[in-house]
Structure 1
Amino acid sequence: MEIKVIVVMRNPKDVAVSYYNFEQQNPWAQSQDSWDGYYREFRDGKAVFGPYYDHVLGWWQMRDDPHFLFLKYEDINRDLTSAVKTIASFLKKDLTDDAVRAVVEACSFQTMKERYAQSSYKPLQIFTRKGKIGDWKNYFTVEQNREFDAEYEYQMAGTGLSFEFK
């Protein structure tokens, strides 16, 4: 059996906002109550999952391995049909146009959110909020954005990896 790994990455500003909101919904989270406090934790690599850049760049080291497929959340969000076709090709699966349409419909953010709401299966917490790109603009202050951009440029320099912040 050939192992295949699909890595989905998202721009770090939206990751920070998503995790902040996720942790606000979970009583076990030890996060700061305020966005400012959480921003500092995330910036300093003290969020629950550790430093963002260590995580993403750790996976990114595998980018030339043919067993790995890297997708960006922003690209999937913009064109789910192309993402489904890319994944099918990576997995060496031939899908008819009807099958692609069915997968796209089943995997749309709205459909998954609606199906979860109707489901009787409720593990600890499954978190579906907006699924939008650029929500960070509703949280980051001008100073936080400036500071974050400088650190982002430093951390990502020379990696060949970049994200859309919209």
Structure 2
Amino acid sequence: MCYKSDRCDEEKDVAVSYYNFEQQNPLAQSQNSWAVFGPYYDHVLGWWQMKDDPHFLFLKYEDMTRDLTSAVKTIASFLKKDLADDAVRAVVEACSFQTMKERYAQSSYKPLQIFTRKGKIGDWKNYFTPEQNREFDAEYEDKMAGTGLTLDFE
């Protein structure tokens, strides 16, 4: 869980990514909020309640970023599909952040053009003030404590 001020990297990166995305969205620029549609952890916990349902697979962006090949194999297994090594490599290449960013940039659909930003873990540190960091940590600890949802941090 997130019990140290520098241990909420996943949620903070999501907040920063979403904030930057919304700042490029003309319909939401006036919001000036980290979470226009509500707290991230409320959303996550709603899905986390389904953790034991065999129809759901939970993957974390940070895990996929660190080892996309393993994530692709996990998804294939979840879908009960056997993939040859060359097929796994093709999926990994097609789903890499850089490949998706390049493809989205070429889209005629404006929201896709702004959908990808950096794809870096820990970028929240460039945006959160120390006070925002403390406030986020306190609220996160309050909301997530005792849920059984554990997150890996950089």
TM-score (normalised: structure 2): 0.86
Q: Secondary structure of 2:57's partner?
A: strand
Residue by residue over 1:53-82, the C-alpha shift from the partner in whole angstroms, topping out at 9 and shown as x without a partner, is 221100000000011000011100100000
Q: 2:67 aligns with which of 76, 79, 92?
A: 79
**1:90 maps onto 2:89 in alignment:** no
AA in 1 matched with 2:74: T
Amino acid of the residue matched to residue 42 of structure 2? D
Residue number among 125, 138, 145 corresponding to 2:111 in the alignment: 125
Find the counterpart in structure 2 of residue 157 from structure 1.
145
Counterpart of 1:99? Answer: 87
Structure 1 letter corresponding to 2:31: S
Letter in 1 for 2:118: K
Q: Kindly indicate whether structure 1 or structure 2 has the higher relative contact order, using CA contacts under 8 Å at least 6 residues apart.
A: 2
AA aligned opposite 2:146: G
Cα distance in 2 between the residues matched to 1:78 and 1:145: 24
CA distance in 2, matches of 1:48, 1:143: 20
Q: Deviations over 1:90-136 (max 9, x none)?
A: 0011000000001001100001111223x3x3224121100111100
Question: Residue 165 of structure 1: CA displacement?
Answer: 4.0
Which residue is equivalent to 2:3?
none
TM-score (norm 1): 0.80
Q: Could you tell me which residue of structure 2 aligns to residue 15 of structure 1?
A: 14
Number of aligned positions between the proteins: 143
CA distance in 2, matches of 1:18, 1:116: 16
Query: CA separation of 1:163/1:122 partners in 2, compared to 1, >3 Å: closer, same or farther?
Result: farther
Q: For 1:114, give the aligned amino acid.
A: E
Listed as ranges, the gaps of 5+ residues in structure 2 are: 1-8
What does 1:136-151 align with in structure 2 at a 5 Å threshold? Answer: 136-151=124-139
The CA deviation string for residues 39-66 of structure 1, in whole angstroms up to 9 with x for no partner, is: xxx4xxxx33222222110000000001
State the Cα distance separating 1:11 from its structure 2 match. 2.1
Aligned pair in 2 of structure 1 residues 116, 124: CA closer, same or farther (>3 Å)? closer
- Secondary structure at the aligned position of 1:11 is classed as helix
SS of the residue aligned with 1:150? helix
In structure 2, what is the Cα distance between the partners aligned to 1:48 and 1:140? 17
Q: Secondary structure at the match of 1:164?
A: coil
Percent of residue pairs bearing the same amino acid type: 81
Runs of 4+ displaced beyond 3 Å: none
Q: Who is 2:96 aligned against? A: 108
For 1:165 and 1:123, the matched residues in 2 are separated by 34
